[in-house]
Amino acid sequence: MNYFSSDFKLGILGGGQLGKMMLYETRKWDVWTKVLDASPEAPCKISCDQFVQGELLDFETVYNFGQGLDVLTIEIENVNLDALERLEKEGLKVFPQPRALRIIQNKAKQKLFYVDHDIPTSEFQRFAYLSEIEDSINNGGLKLPFVWKVAQFGYDGQGVKVVRSLADLQGLPTGECIAETMIPFKNELAVIVARNSKGETKTYPVVEMEFHPEANQVEYVICPARIDDKVATKARELALHVAEKIGLTGLLAVEMFQTQDDQILVNEVAPRPHNSGHYSIEASFTNQFEQHIRCILNLPLGATESKVAGIMVNLVGAEGHTGDVVYENMEDILKLEGVTPHIYGKKQTRPFRKMGHVTIVNPDIDQARKTAQQVKETIKVISK
């Protein structure tokens, strides 16, 4: 099929920043795109050929959106899977496949999948209701501290909390959840795996993630990870194994823990371009968004090696600021060498909302990390 400057139609469910960065690539190749998002101010709106406003979890909306498309993909996994399964049954190519999303969309099912396929992961317990956790603690079945995760619809650090006492359970959603044993890890790592429909696969280099202690959001992504080569090889092999077991077409971001004795445990996965791969726009031969498009169109996969060391700094809304966004000290970071800001186009900021990111590239990873620190301390995402 001819995808370029043709009648081919690609649909994207979700109109956020990941979709916007995907559209950089479809525009580069002149691929026609249609995007669905609930927000009339979605970042994708200005970049696609056709924008549809509607709810991603509504069956009729998603089903109708899929009519007349050649391929349908996602930039967020919280979408109506019944509609995607119906569309797939009727002949539409849906990537990643709905069966893979069924596994990934619910964190309890995802963890059970790892257990069933001998994929190393932290120990966990599944609860139908939050109230069962307190019973389990009182009966000695669950020990504090642990990591609570909502089973469905968590994202960007939302729906995850370290529980150190019963008081920490107050105010949490009352439905299905999991409680994971806390891992005293050495590093949090991630590997992005690309897979097209022919089954051709490639892995990106291992990245190291530094998290904000309160928001549970990534503050820095460092590529390459500053770890031993043997550990890096183990992480890439495990990520590839997970992607092959799930069997999806597209990108799979595999987040992992490196334990104190250098074991690798899978934390969770995302079936799409991912925060841990943003560095690739400036630092890699083939960035993750182009690679995703190559995967879902069944094109040859691009080179995943880095041209240069890259670090990504997330730009999130400052605490105490809600309203029309202002990016303070932007000119100061633009004076720094190897710095590229990406602003997502969200007009309203609030504390910890992802508003953009900055990539820092340098042949020397240590120098890149110093510049990243400077960027983080200089730019402020505030409200008017």
> What distance in Å separates the CA atoms of residue 254 and residue 274, rounded to the nearest whole number?
9
For residue 217, the model assigns a pLDDT of 75
For residue 381, the model assigns a pLDDT of 98
For residue 156, the model assigns a pLDDT of 59
With CA atoms as reference, report the closest residue to 55 among 87, 78, 84, 89.
78
CA 97 to chain centre: 17
For residue 157, the model assigns a pLDDT of 62
For residue 89, the model assigns a pLDDT of 98
> What distance in Å separates the CA atoms of residue 326 and residue 384, rounded to the nearest whole number?
6
With CA atoms as reference, report the closest residue to 110 among 263, 267, 248.
267
With CA atoms as reference, report the closest residue to 250 among 18, 74, 33, 9.
74
- pLDDT, averaged per 10 consecutive residues of the chain (384 residues), comes to 94 97 98 97 96 98 98 96 98 98 95 96 94 91 93 76 91 92 94 96 96 77 97 98 97 97 96 97 98 98 98 95 97 97 96 95 96 96 95
pTM of this structure: 0.95
Strands 71-74 and 9-13, by their bridges, are parallel
Residues 6+ apart with CB under 8 A from 142: 125, 133, 136, 179
Percentage helix, strand, coil for the chain under 3-state DSSP, each rounded to 5: 30, 30, 40
* Whether the Cβ atoms of residue 207 and residue 190 lie closer than 8 Å to each other: yes
Three-state secondary-structure class, residue 282: helix
How many residues does this entry show for the chain?
384
Which runs of E-coded beta strand occur in 69-196?
71-74, 93-94, 124-127, 146-150, 160-163, 177-181, 187-195
* Whether the Cβ atoms of residue 271 and residue 249 lie closer than 8 Å to each other: no
* Whether the Cβ atoms of residue 70 and residue 1 lie closer than 8 Å to each other: yes
